[in-house]
């Protein structure tokens, strides 16, 4: 297996890590306004459930972007120029979200907190929607000329398949966040999160089923059929476990759902990295979009050294902050804490 293929797989793994970990972050942020009244302790409980880990989860996005730039510069250039506006909105949303977490508790003012709560909601829901639209278009392909310049308009990006992809990621991440909240919190937030999980499942299950089936029939390969089945079974099982109040099992099955779904997308894409709907000969592939072997070799050694360190650190942080968050623990914390409580 050549290094270009290895790095395509590595980038797929980085996106899996990002969507699994940041996915429940987005879900918690999207659900936060519904976890309690304005300026209530319950909203602080929801925020504190992801307070120690949300910024570390975003490292996966930075790493995925950096790896794409170094390993597949042509892919990076076409992707970030052709999808400039959606990616710019995602960037602004993530910035607002990060600032909101930091500044929400800086003033004891209900209006101040209300506006930061809105920023958290927007900064969570917008990327959850737009990432689905972006990745659906990557798998489907976009209008691109022989120089690998994306000629598709913004309207072209909001096609029915992409919109279904956006609805799928938004609803799936919201469900993932609801399951995480029911696992991580206790008291009223846990009760509301359980109810939110069951309500969100009414959208997430049919949307994910339709999107994955459309992906498989239109773009999939023979070996990705088992992944589609695995994603469907894990999602249904996760909802059933959430209904039975088995939060740990439900969260594990949601992780399996997202993992299988992302592998299905990248598997359907391979060996292309950005198909051209103008002419298949204009498509960017793993081979024609990759860097030189020397660059990929250096990147491989860097990844071998530093990736285990990142995994150990992140695993340690989740272990340290593994306890449930309650109203009592939140009210005993400093308002200056990084979680924004």
Show the CA angle centred on residue 226, arms to residues 224 and 209, nearest 5°. 85
The whole-number pLDDT of residue 322 equals 82
Q: Residue 338: is its pLDDT beyond 80?
A: no
Q: Are 123 and 100 in contact (CB under 8 A)?
A: yes
Residue with tokens 């209006």: 111
Report which secondary-structure segment, H or E, holds 285. Answer: strand 284-285
The whole-number pLDDT of residue 37 equals 77
Q: Which of 179, 77, 93 is nearest to 129 (CA)?
A: 93
Q: Residue 120: is its pLDDT beyond 60?
A: yes
Q: Residue 54: is its pLDDT beyond 90?
A: no
If you average pLDDT over residues 233-244, what whole number do you get? 96
Split at pLDDT 50, 70, 90, the class of 39 is low
237-273 burial string, b = 16+ CB within 10 Å, else e? bbbebbeeebbebbbbbbbbbbbbbbbbbbbbbbebb
Split at pLDDT 50, 70, 90, the class of 105 is confident
> What integer best gives the mean pLDDT of the chain?
91
Report which secondary-structure segment, H or E, holds 63. Answer: helix 59-71
Q: Residue 33: is its pLDDT beyond 70?
A: yes
Quick check: is 222 in a domain? no
If you average pLDDT over residues 138-166, what whole number do you get? 94
Residue-wise pLDDT tens digits, 298-327? 999 999 998 888 889 888 888 888 888 887
Q: Are 181 and 152 in contact (CB under 8 A)?
A: no
DSSP code per residue over 286-300: TTTT---HHHHHHHH
The whole-number pLDDT of residue 340 equals 45
CA–CA separation, 175 and 30 (whole Å): 10
Q: What is the tally of structural domains in the chain?
A: 1
Quick check: is 136 in a domain? yes
Residue-wise pLDDT tens digits, 172-187? 999 999 999 999 998 8
CA–CA separation, 69 and 84 (whole Å): 15
40-44, 229-233, 328-332: least confident range? 328-332
Quick check: is 238 in a domain? no
Count CA atoms closer than 13 A to 110's CA, side-chain side: 5
Q: Residue 335: is its pLDDT beyond 50?
A: no
Quick check: is 246 in a domain? no
Structural domain containing residue 11 = 3-194+270-294+318-327
1-5, 21-25, 95-99: least confident range? 1-5
Q: Which of 236, 14, 43, 278 is nearest to 142 (CA)?
A: 278
Quick check: is 11 in a domain? yes
Quick check: is 153 in a domain? yes
Q: Which of 93, 97, 102 is nearest to 120 (CA)?
A: 97
Q: What is the DSSP letter of 274?
A: E
Quick check: is 117 in a domain? yes
Quick check: is 338 in a domain? no
Q: Residue 311: is it exposed, middle or buried by C-beta count within 10 angstroms (0-12/13-18/19+)?
A: exposed
Residue-wise pLDDT tens digits, 65-78? 999 999 999 999 99
DSSP code per residue over 108-143: --HHHHHHHHHHHHHHHHHHHHHHHHHHHHHHH-B-
């Amino acid at each position: 297996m050549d290094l270009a293929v290895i790095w395509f797989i590595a980038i797929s793994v980085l996106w899996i890590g990002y969507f699994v970990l940041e996915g429940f972050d987005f879900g918690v942020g999207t659900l936060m306004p519904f976890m309690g009244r304005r300026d209530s302790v319950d909203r602080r409980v929801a925020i504190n459930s992801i307070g120690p880990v949300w910024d570390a989860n975003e490292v996966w996005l930075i790493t995925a972007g950096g790896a794409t730039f170094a390993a597949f510069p042509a892919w990076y250039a076409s992707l970030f120029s052709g999808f400039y506006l959606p990616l710019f909105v995602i960037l602004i949303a993530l910035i607002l979200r990060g600032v909101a977490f930091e500044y929400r508790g800086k003033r004891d003012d209900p209006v101040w907190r209300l506006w930061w709560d809105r920023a958290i909601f927007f900064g969570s829901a917008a990327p959850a929607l737009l990432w689905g639209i972006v990745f659906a278009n990557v798998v489907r392909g976009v209008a691109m000329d022989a120089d690998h310049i994306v000629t598709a308009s913004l309207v072209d990006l909001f096609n029915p398949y992409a919109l279904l992809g956006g609805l799928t990621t938004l609803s799936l991440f919201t469900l993932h966040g609801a399951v995480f909240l029911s696992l991580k919190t206790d008291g009223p937030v846990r009760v509301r999160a359980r109810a939110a999980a069951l309500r969100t499942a009414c959208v997430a299950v049919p949307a994910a089923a339709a999107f994955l089936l459309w992906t498989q029939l239109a773009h999939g390969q023979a070996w990705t059929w088992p992944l589609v089945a695995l994603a469907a079974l894990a999602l249904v099982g996760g909802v059933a476990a959430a209904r039975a109040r088995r939060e740990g099992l439900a969260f594990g099955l949601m992780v399996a759902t997202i993992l299988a779904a992302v592998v299905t997308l990248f598997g359907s894409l391979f060996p292309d990295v950005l198909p051209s709907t103008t002419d298949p000969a204009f498509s960017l592939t793993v081979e024609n979009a990759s860097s030189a072997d020397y660059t990929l070799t250096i990147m491989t050694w860097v990844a071998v050294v530093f990736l285990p360190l990142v995994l150990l650190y992140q695993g340690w942080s989740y272990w340290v902050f593994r306890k449930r968050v309650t109203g009592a623990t939140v009210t005993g914390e400093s308002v200056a804490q990084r979680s924004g409580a």
